[in-house]
Structure 1
């Protein structure tokens, strides 16, 4: 049993590819953060001020419902949390995930995918939501990534054991 979890939200599959590669490299367990109401292409249109993601972004209290639960969260010391960056922050469904579980004493490492932006304010926002956790700066996992680079990143963090 791993003490590392890779939890991820991936409405288009891009973040899922990065998350599964990371989990495979680390020998980590995975949990997909799935919205009760899946996001459509129209929902994801960031250029449309009336799109679901635009509306959620403007509402600090928005907390989309997640389908399913992560059992035995207490088993994990390290939790990588992956998501697409939306307007330089994590999607509100990530806030739902963070508020659902007790992260006190855990190391949380954000990682994200994006067509052109960095992590922005996501790590700081995540720290404010789970103040009892140690939230590291995180990393963008765009484009091609290989097991060696993912392992080197985890080794640099000093948070995860070697994959078995």
Structure 2
């Protein structure tokens, strides 16, 4: 009889032990569920932050830059390409309908085409149709040109008088062996009549990309 009672007690304790284990397992599952819930919350937060970043990128994508230039000999072109490389801006060349030859650019010849044009402030050389939407697609525009006889080439006057730069930031740059940009830049500002024109810069044809980076970093562009 005592043996039977002992066996019954052992069975009861065994059952209670199993129930206790089951409750412990249930508690573990609750902890795991909480951890999963935290992980899901973290994922949602990450998604919100990612969405904010994407919105910021989309907004900044609307602030496009353009480097547009005229270059008769290729010197200004080289600087324009470096500026576009540094800034990530689009690049476009102003192409005259009548290209300039070496004879046209003879400084010592008073009858050369460029000399005659520079001596007549009313001349407006024509250029090929520009295949970019300058007025609607760009907020910041770098405008480049060589210095001829101390001034901007007349084709640049044609260009700035052809567009409305209202609400845009304009940064002129030029290439020259010695002449500065101040006079030509003032001429372009007057002829354009619109736009927020920043101080320009003169470069030699051998200017490095680091020089250009230093100049651009000082412009405090948005």
- The normalised TM-score by structure 2 is 0.68
**Alpha-carbon offset, residue 145 of structure 1:** 3.0
1:60 and 2:121 aligned:
yes
Aligned mates of 1:120, 1:52 — CA distance in 2: 24
* Residue 142 (structure 2) aligned to one of 72, 75, 80: 80
Per-residue CA deviation, residues 79-134 of structure 1 (Å, 9 max, x unaligned), is 11111101221101111111112111211111111122211411110110112212
Further displaced range: 142-151 or 72-81: 142-151
Structure with the bigger percentage of strand: 1
2:103 alignment partner in structure 1: 42
- The normalised TM-score by structure 1 is 0.90
**Alpha-carbon offset, residue 144 of structure 1:** 3.0
1:126 alignment partner in structure 2: 188
Do the aligned partners of residues 79 and 56 (structure 1) sit closer, same or farther apart at CA in structure 2, a change above 3 Å counting? same
Structure with the bigger percentage of helix: 2
**Alpha-carbon offset, residue 12 of structure 1:** 0.5
2:214 alignment partner in structure 1: 152
Tell me if structure 2 keeps the 8 A contact 1:104–1:130: no
Further displaced range: 138-147 or 99-108: 138-147
Gaps of 5+ in 2: 1-60
Alignment: residue pair count: 160
Query: How well do the aligned residues superpose, as a CA RMSD in angstroms?
Result: 1.5
Gaps of 5+ in 1: none
Per-residue CA deviation, residues 128-157 of structure 1 (Å, 9 max, x unaligned), is 011221222211121433333322211211
